[in-house]
A and B are shown apart, each in its own frame.
Chain A
């Protein structure tokens, strides 16, 4: 506005010195210099309550700090001229002149002067000053040693470093360096691998960490703040299910619903009765399902879809569950209060039958090293066998219920089972310690996360509870929405980094929640009977399988996919038992 100001904005800015900076920060001079500035390309500065200039719509970013970290980032990127220009144009120096002198002295190796300058920087903590001096003098010492000036090094140690009385154990180490520098220089040249002193810029970085951040801006500060924001965005993204969804700085990250499996790509009909259980193998290449029809089926997962590999018959009772060996070469199947059978996946052959006369098994599982198996019996005990059938151990007493799940943690240390109506037992095999998850409601089933740190518990009252089982047992989240009143419904972890929870339901829908926020993101129709069990492919976050009383298994995938394969509806391999819907 004013003519005079218009003509000389640049020179006005150059005049700002560190004293004027101080004045700037309490706001008095600002209105004069900025009010008339032409071509206002800069962020419009506001006044915060504290009197310092701020930028951004929320008034929490201090302008001086903002400009300084930008300048630091420019220098880190190698844009020295831009950085210097920014300092000049904004009038906000990255470092005070004392600090600039200090940094130069360090890089040039003027150790004694730098120690003096250190005292002038204006640090108040004597301890920091001593620690920083120690680092500088240590560098001086080590560089002397590298140049083989042993007596100079010794003098530095005795007269400058030791009197600081900090870090005595390091002083000890340095003494031993003086005595035996020759250990390493035998074969190789002394300069090569054996330089004791690190580079001077590394020293500067170490000093940066020691000094308060207002004195020397920490390395990579701007990058760190941006990464923080990106991580927060990613965690808040409830549909985040694909690795290749890159994050961009241009707009807030938000995946679309299209990343979650929501389209039934295939309907598998090979069981002749209700399908109660299913599970993908660890490598995601196979799927095993078990049914009321007393058989289990191994399906193979291909690029183009899932197809039947083997039908495993032999049990005389409905099959309650299956369990994959850690290497996915073998499968255990458990008959309801019957026997356990071990099968070879590639041949479909039954390799062994585990039974205990007079008792029936209700659940089964593998040890993480694949060398033994364990099972819950209908007398509420838990038994362990070697693969050849030799019984290893047996815990009697109320360890499990008649119909119950059983898991073992990835380290092989804890066995988890439902031991009472409302409690889950976590038994540490070695330490013989028992921990309990107590619920108010009867528990119907549970499932263990891949990293063995969390347990998903299904309750009678139609809630699913997520517990942290590492260290102290803690309830983390609750998920609601599905229906369960009469049967056992199972849920599972799944998706990228197991960020989702999926569950079956008695209303024939498959439910999917975002694990972190607890938000229900999908309820998928399609089955015509209660959905008993779901399993998410561990190798493919876009594939989900569900097992239902309608005798079918549905394979769910991304809805784009089915559009691209030009199929009108889901592929099926036979007669539908009832109207599948879309």
Chain B
């Protein structure tokens, strides 16, 4: 049983709200030029302070995605001084990106020295020990891509770290860490799931964005 589509007609959606949703997405992902053209098309007010920080965040994100962690860290420190100190998990993840880059370039000695200096201090806390061991294990393989820990070398992993960094920077500046769009989709999915659980086969099906977009 699905919701009667006619019920949708009863809800009025404000244009302004939609514009805000789109804007939040663009700002979060640092699409600066698109933001500027969107503003001129819709006549929205310009969120002036956000433009600068977008540029910086974009650069940081790019560096992190490429695996150039040291540059990303440098810029982050410039932008938000204590951020990494307060987010040790994030700090570790970023440093590990650098380590992984060294391993991939087969620079074992440098990787080893870097690990001994920068990563092992984290090992004093129990929660980092296993992560640390995961990364160290990469050293044992001449072809780390073929090791059991190959997922640490993947683009998905770097994306995940870059995303976390982005959110942390936004949080630091008291901006929302999730886009409205993400939240809306998450909300719908969770609500539908709860209803589905409660009402069993009588309730609405779990939310599928793909199906929704097709309908």
Contact = CB atoms under 8 A, between A and B. Distances in A.
Interface of A: 150-151, 154, 157-159, 161-163, 168, 171-176, 178-180, 182
A162 B142 contact: yes
Contacts of A176: 132-133, 136-137
Interface in B85-119: 108-109, 112, 115-116, 119
B118 to A, nearest CB: 11
B120 interface: yes
A171 B146 CA distance: 14
B103 to A, nearest CB: 11
A167 to B, nearest CB: 11
Given A172-B133, A176-B132, A179-B115, A151 B140 contact: no
B176 interface: no
24 contacts: A150-B112, A151-B108, A158-B139, A161-B140, A162-B141, A162-B147, A163-B142, A171-B140, A172-B133, A172-B134, A172-B136, A173-B133, A174-B140, A175-B133, A175-B139, A175-B140, A178-B139, A179-B112, A179-B116, A179-B119, A179-B120, A179-B132, A180-B116, A182-B116
Contacts of A168: 148
A157 B112 contact: no
Contact of A158 (B120, B123, B140): B140
Task: Say what secondary structure dominates the interface of chain B.
Answer: helix
Interface residues of B, number: 20
Contacts of B137: 171-172, 175-176
A202 B116 CA distance: 31
Nearest to A159: B142
- For the complex of A and B, the 8 pairs showing the least CB-CB separation, nearest first, are A172-B137, A175-B136, A175-B140, A175-B137, A162-B140, A157-B140, A158-B142, A179-B136
A134 to B, nearest CB: 13
Contacts of A161: 140
Contact of A154 (B112, B133, B147): B112
A166 to B, nearest CB: 13
Contacts of A159: 142
B198 to A, nearest CB: 35
A175 B116 CA distance: 12
A163 B112 CA distance: 20
Contacts of B148: 168
A168 B150 CA distance: 14
Contacts of B138: 175
Give the one of A159, A162, A175 with max B CB within 10 A. Answer: A175
Contacts of A154: 108, 112, 139
A333 B139 CA distance: 73
Nearest to B132: A176
Nearest to A171: B140
Given A168-B148, A172-B137, A151 B142 contact: no
Interface in B121-175: 123, 132-134, 136-142, 147-148
B92 to A, nearest CB: 14
B104 to A, nearest CB: 14
A340 B60 CA distance: 83
Nearest to A163: B142
B83 to A, nearest CB: 27
Given A154-B112, A157-B139, 16 more contacts: A150-B112, A157-B140, A158-B140, A158-B141, A162-B147, A163-B142, A172-B140, A173-B133, A176-B133, A176-B136, A176-B137, A178-B112, A178-B139, A179-B119, A180-B123, A182-B116
Contacts of A158: 108, 139-142
Contacts of A178: 112, 136, 139
A264 B124 CA distance: 71
Contacts of B115: 179
B12 to A, nearest CB: 59
A174 B139 CA distance: 10
A180 B120 contact: yes
A158 B136 CA distance: 12
Interface in B198-212: none
A154 B137 CA distance: 11
Contacts of A163: 142
Contacts of A151: 108-109
A221 B29 CA distance: 72
Contacts of B109: 151
Interface string B179-210: 00000000000000000000000000000000
Nearest to B147: A162
Interface in B35-74: none
A180 B132 CA distance: 11
Most chain B beta-carbon neighbours within 10 Å: one of A154, A162, A163, A176? A176
A148 to B, nearest CB: 13
A151 B116 CA distance: 14
A462 B39 CA distance: 104
Contacts of B141: 158, 162
B96 to A, nearest CB: 13
Nearest to A182: B116
A176 B136 CA distance: 6
A240 to B, nearest CB: 53
A175 B120 CA distance: 13
Nearest to B136: A175
Q: Which of A151, A171, A172 has the most CB of B within 10 A?
A: A172
Contacts of A182: 116
A158 B142 CA distance: 6
Nearest to B134: A172
